[in-house]
Chain A
Amino acid sequence: MNTALKYRRVAVTILSIIAAVALQTTLFVRLRPFDAAPALVILVVIGLARHLPSELALLTGFSAGLLEDLLSQSPLGLWALTLTTVAYFVVRVRDRMEEDFSLLAPFVFALTLGAITLFAVLGTIFGEKTLADAGFVRKILVPSIYNLALAGAVLPFFTWALGARAASSPYQT
């Protein structure tokens, strides 16, 4: 991988995470169909982790989660743990996914669902009242469906933005 492509990937990664967190926290103040919003940051982490080297993918998940923790009232490290796990799952199965959307879409749905559930369970273990939320099922299902719908646009964007097709082996570790 040449140096220009490396810098490009780092820049795209940092800007994407900041943009995703900014959009997640501002765009959905009032725009909340069915009283829920897409989990943009999870989707962006999935999109990035598919093409970044393994360690960088894991650090990306961790950093994105830490930023979310710092901008919320959840215990510091909870989102970091959740998104690192998401990145790890993507790193483990990405070479079986390729660009086949019929496989990617259910994967995005399942991973979003799993990530929000993991966050809710960990939150409850660490003293938050996430599972006490009576709308729990809806709150994990609706964002997962939104992510499923958005995956068709977001994932190809990251394939292009990270220059994954240009690189000799996007999945090198």
Chain B
Amino acid sequence: MWRPTNVDRPTGVFIGLIIVSLVLVTVDLRASGAGLGGTLREGAQAVFTPIQRVVSSGARPVVDFFEDLSDIFSLRGENRRLRTEVIELERSLDEARGLELRIAELEAILGLEPPEELDSVVAQVLAVGVSEFDHSRVIDRGRADGITVDMPVVDEGGLIGRIIATTDEVARVRLITDPSIRVAVRIERTGETGVLTGRGSSPMVLEMFNTDAAVVEGDTLITADGRFPAGIPVGRVLEPARSEVGFSLRTTAEPTAQTTRIDLVRVLVFTRDQVGIQDLEELERPPIVIPSEEEPAEGESEEGLPTETSIPTGEGEGQGVTGGADEQGGEGGGGGG
């Protein structure tokens, strides 16, 4: 018969530590990553940042050496491709300059104010997540540089992710490839909207709302209005979309940004506009009451017979391209910062 005295000491300690771990997990999940867990995380990151800076600066030459070594074989082809690209870009630049002048003239005629450019903070990636399943990066700029949670992060290719946690000195970026991230996107060519979902290191999944709209290989996806500023390149469609049980078009896309070799990034000083914030706030409120079109019955006030309608959560049904469309599926719990 089993008795507690049958358990040897290492096994007893092991069981005790497992119980402590499970309690920690439960408490942290209950607090949604905030509370004591959040404070401890921020403290640990603040203490560990100087160590990471030292190791990172020491490791950088080694990493550069190996990276150069791996690049050396592809240099000739890369050089040829870049020369062609320079010629095309110079031509595009000339056209853009002409268009800029023309737009400025038209704005002057119509008395319009030119749109303000977003400010940005340049940062360098300091650290990666501790495991292969941690799709986040730590950058060397934090609250002291004006970075706050939810700001979008881009590189020369396009959108990389968004800020999910900050300390005074560093910030954590969740990459768009994280399975819990969903980005509201628009196809640049057609203007059709959909949602892009990360799948780790595999191509992302694109779901289009309009089942009749053609999606072809090579289509560029840009952010739609919402959590991120509109118009940032996000991905490129890898294969033509196919209809999935008649509800949505589904295909795969790859990020336009180099998410596996991120080094320098720009944090856009952008917070959701008022409309987006209102949308998100309303998600937590009781359902909106929309008056029925039917005539009120006799004896009832005109405010009677309400029809309750829930705002789409963006998680499952009808994700409109508003602030709520960029839902972060699993971020509420431990995944959230």
On A, residues with C-beta under 8 Å from B are 18, 21-32, 35-37, 39, 41, 54-55, 58-59, 61-62, 65-81, 84-85, 88, 91-92, 116, 119-120, 123, 126-130, 132-136, 138-140, 143, 173
Contacts and interface: CB of A to CB of B under 8 A. Distances in A.
A69 B199 CA distance: 22
Interface stretch (B88-96, B121-129, B148-156): B121-129
Residue in B21, B24, B66, B337 whose Cβ sees the most chain A Cβ within 10 Å: B21
B28 interface: yes
Question: What 5 A-B pairs are tightest by C-beta distance, nearest first?
Answer: A77-B24, A133-B200, A75-B334, A134-B202, A70-B44
Nearest to A132: B179
Nearest to A37: B132
A35 B136 contact: no
A54 B17 CA distance: 13
A22 B51 contact: yes
B200 A134 contact: yes
Interface residues of B, number: 69
Given A72-B130, A76-B24, A129-B180, A139 B200 contact: yes
A71 B63 contact: no
Given A21-B130, A28-B128, A139-B200, A128 B21 contact: no
Contacts of A66: 24
Contacts of B55: 22-23, 26-27
Contacts, number: 212
Contacts of B330: 127-129
A29 to B, nearest CB: 5
B272 interface: no
A69 B24 CA distance: 11
B63 A29 contact: yes
B131 interface: yes
A138 B62 CA distance: 25
B337 A73 contact: yes
Contacts of A80: 17, 20-21, 24
Contact of B25 (A54, A76, A91, A130): A76
A71 B45 contact: yes
Contact of A88 (B14, B126, B134, B201): B14
Interface of B: 8-11, 13-14, 17-18, 20-25, 27-29, 33, 37, 40-41, 44-45, 48, 51-52, 55-56, 59, 62-63, 66-67, 125-134, 136-138, 164-165, 172, 174, 178-180, 199-203, 260-263, 329-330, 333-337
Contact of B63 (A31, A92, A128, A134): A31
9 contacts: A28-B128, A41-B130, A70-B44, A75-B33, A76-B334, A77-B21, A80-B21, A116-B132, A173-B9
Contacts of A18: 51
Contacts of B41: 70-71, 76
Contacts of B336: 73
A39 B41 CA distance: 21
Given A21-B130, A41-B130, A73-B172, A55 B10 contact: yes
Nearest to B37: A76
Pick the most buried of A29, A80, A140: most chain B CB atoms within 10 A of its CB: A29
B136 to A, nearest CB: 6
A35 B128 CA distance: 12
Contacts of B25: 75-78, 81, 126
A138 B91 CA distance: 43
Contacts of A75: 24-25, 28-29, 33, 333-334
A93 B13 CA distance: 17
B24 A133 contact: no
A130 B133 contact: yes
B123 to A, nearest CB: 13
Nearest to B23: A77
